[in-house]
């Protein structure tokens, strides 16, 4: 269930509440009792924990962890000159 953050515009009370997405927004402040409680826009509580989630879940290759740590461009061929090699400078 999502966590929503609310703040009372009258008394300043602020708290997070766990609610179903289908629940109606809260409007009554639990501290002052007025109908001035409003939902705040806040960052989601999403956090990736542990190591290797990218390599094991999303990478899609079977390279070893030592190979996965290197830059994808490290094994690539050298890039062509920016001038296109048709300018006579090469």
Question: Position of tokens 């402040």?
Answer: 29
Q: Indicate whether 48 pLDDT > 80.
A: no
Highest mean pLDDT (candidates 18-22, 52-56, 57-61, 74-78): 18-22
pLDDT tier at 67, thresholds 50, 70, 90: very low
**pTM of the complete model beyond 0.85:** no
**Nearest-angstrom CA–CA distance, 21 and 11:** 26
Tokens of 38: 């409003």
State residue 77's pLDDT score: 53
């Amino acid at each position: 269930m999502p966590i929503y953050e609310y703040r009372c515009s009258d008394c300043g009370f602020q708290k997070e509440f766990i609610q179903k997405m289908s629940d109606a927004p809260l409007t009554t402040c639990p501290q002052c009792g007025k109908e001035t409680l409003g939902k705040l826009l806040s960052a989601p509580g999403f956090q990736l924990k542990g190591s290797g989630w990218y390599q094991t879940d999303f990478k899609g290759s079977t390279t070893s962890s030592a190979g996965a740590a290197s830059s994808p461009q490290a094994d690539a061929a050298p890039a062509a000159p920016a001038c296109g090699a048709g300018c006579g400078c090469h």
